[in-house]
Amino acid sequence: MLEFEDINDELTKKIDEKCKPGLMPVASIRVIPSNCVMPREFKPYAERLMNFEVREDDVWVISYPKCGTTWTQELVWLLGNNFDYDTAKQKLQLQRFPFLEAVSIINQNDLIHENGTLFGDTISFVQEMPSPRFIKSHLPVQLLPKDIFVKKPKIIYVTREPKDAAVSYYHHHRLWNGYEGSFDDFMKAFLEDKVVYSPFWSHVNNYKKLAKTMPNVLINSYEDMQLNLPEVIKKTAKFLEKPINDKQLKKLTNHLSFDSMKNNPAINGEEFIKDVIVKYDMPRDDPELTFIRKGIMGSWKKEMSPELVKKFDEWAEINGVEDDDQENKVNV
């Protein structure tokens, strides 16, 4: 049985007050077991998600938010769909590779767009998709559908250096939550596990543990994708049992480049972002208010103070775990 604890501390209230009402909900409950922080809107959908019917030929991409999920989704979808670039450029990724629990964390008004390209109940949408289904989630291990551990579909988990993930999540909140509070307050909330989908470290560590005992789980890292994308593509193709030749590898690498991803309207969400900026009167000339923002490693170096970096490093030293499995090594 799931239990829900309200979060009423002053920092959480402060973050909430600095977000625009009507945009994405913010942290308000903690889900037991898992201690995962979620919006109150998650409660009516939690049991449906845990009882979601999984298929053996599903392919799941899972991560803590802002760790390279969209990038990995595009890689995996093209490997699984015979490099169908035409569809990848014409059909929205969120329809090809839907976000399972979106209905439970996004305001319904923001799931339905005037051109009909978004959908309301993402759980039902995924249920009705033909196989093989490609499914995105940010759920921690304890809140995954129970059927995952019976059917054992392919799961690719993506992780990222936590300081970069935190900075990216801050800018994500500025865009999708209209957050106008301070950078330091948000970083404090991140470190104290008071933002949606936290705690960060248990999220990462529990998937790393799964990968050690379940061959259907692969760990990739954002850093490896940045440093040697072709090798990550080949590693993922092998895991998915999808052959890829040198010509296909080169074309896929180019398609997954930052400029290509940022300029692909099926991925970048620019039309929806324009609507959000107008609807909620947000700054129109802020280059940081984009879904695909910078796509680099180490951006935290320009945004974090030395004191904040020290706090993150101490936090990582306490909470991170060593992974001796070199095949599934995670760069965090």
136 Cβ contact list (under 8 Å, min separation 6): 60, 61, 62, 69, 73, 97, 98, 99, 100
Q: Is 60 helix (H, G, I), strand (E, B) or coil?
A: strand
Phi-psi region of 197 (alpha: psi -120 to 50; beta: other; left: phi over 0): left
> For residue 2, what pLDDT band results from cuts at 50, 70 and 90?
very high
- Sign, CA dihedral 11-14-18-22, equals positive
* Interval 41-60 mean pLDDT: 97
Give the pLDDT confidence of 133-178 residue by residue, as tens digits. Answer: 999 999 999 999 999 999 999 999 999 999 999 999 999 898 888 8
- Domain span at residue 313? 3-328
Contact 274, 114 (CB under 8 A): no
Mean pLDDT value across the chain:
88
pTM reported for the whole predicted model: 0.89
Closest CA to 2 of 38, 54, 53, 55: 38
Q: Is 204 helix (H, G, I), strand (E, B) or coil?
A: helix
Number of separate domains in the chain: 1
| pLDDT at residue 25, rounded to an integer | 82
Q: Check which CATH number belongs to the domain holding 306 and give it.
A: 3.40.50.300
Q: Report how far apart, in Å, the C-alpha atoms of 269 and of each of 80, 235, 263 are.
A: 22, 28, 10
% of the chain exceeding 70 in pLDDT: 83
Tokens of 193: 């596990």
Q: Which amino acids are annotated catalytic? A: 138
Determine the number of helices (DSSP H) and then strands (DSSP E) in the chain.
20, 7
Give the pLDDT confidence of 196-211 residue by residue, as tens digits. Answer: 999 999 999 999 999 9
- Whether 331 shows a pLDDT value over 60: the answer reads no
